[in-house]
Structure 1
Amino acid sequence: MDFAIRRAAADEYETLGEITAQAYLQDGLLDFGESDAYLGELRKVAERATAAEVLAAVADGRVLGGVTFVPSGGPMADIARPGEAEIRMLAVAREARGRGAGEALVRACVDRARAVEGCVRVVLSTQRTMRPAHRLYERLGFVRTPDRDWNPLPGLDDITLLTYGLTL
């Protein structure tokens, strides 16, 4: 399938937010299901687009998935340190998976990071159960950085996020 990776358009934000929310829900990545507070964050693409670059994979006018790219020092960063860019909220619609959109979105983020002056590394967080994503990151040269693993909800040990980094 041919698709393009580009900045998400404002009229695509709602669709992309729903793709992201459904990807997390359908893959069992939200501990509290529909009542999970993070679900609302996943849907707030317009808000993310004011603080970071939201990219979309699009084919035949249809959004297949997206990712949030946070350049060095961006306000949406969770774990990025000075000189690092961060990838967040990568999601591809279930029916579009296996066609390379996720990989193309990650590669686009890496390319953007290389274009950011002073950026020497790309980092990301992922859940333990996101094994297909882990394989993708490792295939693209990302390595685990267990010393940076973190918990967005302290006190709930089963929510510890794994981290990866790619030196540019």
Structure 2
Amino acid sequence: MRLRRATPDDLGPAGAVTVAAYAAFVTGEDDPYLDRLRDAARRDREAELWVAVDDGNVLGTVTICPPGSSWREISRAGEGEFRMLAVHPAARGRGVGAALVDLVLDRFRYDGATAVVMSSLREMADAHRLYARAGFTRLPERDFSPAPDVQLIAFGRDL
């Protein structure tokens, strides 16, 4: 498995992986959030899209939100933030998510950030276990609701 910035050829597959990973958390095929999940090109333009690839296949993806990115939601000065960590269901259990989290931590450590934060749907219990193993703890004071009927819970860890 190799981790790298997404190339133009990765954008379609990365969007498809994100949709597949989030399928259990959308309201159906008409959910408007699917367009946002699918739009890897926008995430790469407005933040940084990274992929985990193996044998030419995108297994997972994460959006790194550097300072100034419109994708930042809960970070404060000096903190890194990431969004939409996604692993294709067929690639789960292979360490893809952990490798992407490590990439995020290394990247922000290199940039001099003091902490990394992110938010997640309350229902994403598997992801929460991954974040806990990586040293993230809950930040309930940063929980928020970006849309009606959507409650995001926040996590963070010091670097």
Structures share fold, TM-score greater than 0.5: yes
Q: For the aligned residues, what is the CA RMSD? A: 1.1
- The one-character-per-residue Cα deviations of 1:55-104 (angstroms, maximum 9, x if unpaired) are 10001111101000112332211111111111100111111100000110
Q: Give the match for residue 11 of structure 1.
A: 9
2:25 is matched by which residue type in structure 1?
Answer: L
TM-score calculated relative to the size of structure 1: 0.91
Which of 66-75 and 100-109 deviates more?
A: 66-75
Percent identity (aligned): 47
**Which structure shows the bigger proportion of residues in strand conformation?**
2
The 2-side partners of 1:55 and 1:125 are apart by 18
TM-score norm. by structure 2 comes to 0.96
Q: Give 1:152 shift.
A: 1.0
| Equivalent position of 2:154 in the other structure | 163
Asked if 1:141 corresponds to 2:104, the answer is no
Structure 1 residue 132: Cα displacement: 1.0
- Residue from 71, 74, 82 that aligns with 2:69: 74
- For residue 2 of structure 2, what is the amino acid of its counterpart? A
**2:22 aligned residue (21, 24, 46):** 24
Q: Could you tell me which residue of structure 2 aligns to residue 50 of structure 1?
A: 45
| Corresponding residue of 1:34 | 29
Following TM superposition, where does structure 1 have runs of at least 4 consecutive aligned residues deviating by more than 6 angstroms?
Answer: none
Alpha-carbon displacement from aligned partner over 1:38-64 (angstroms, at most 9, x marks no partner): 110111111111111111000111110
**Structure 1 residues 165 and 142, CA, compared in 2 at 3 Å: closer, same or farther?**
same
2-structure distance, mates of 1:63, 1:54: 12
Q: Give the equivalent residue in structure 1 for 2:110.
A: 115
Unaligned 5+ residue runs, structure 2? none
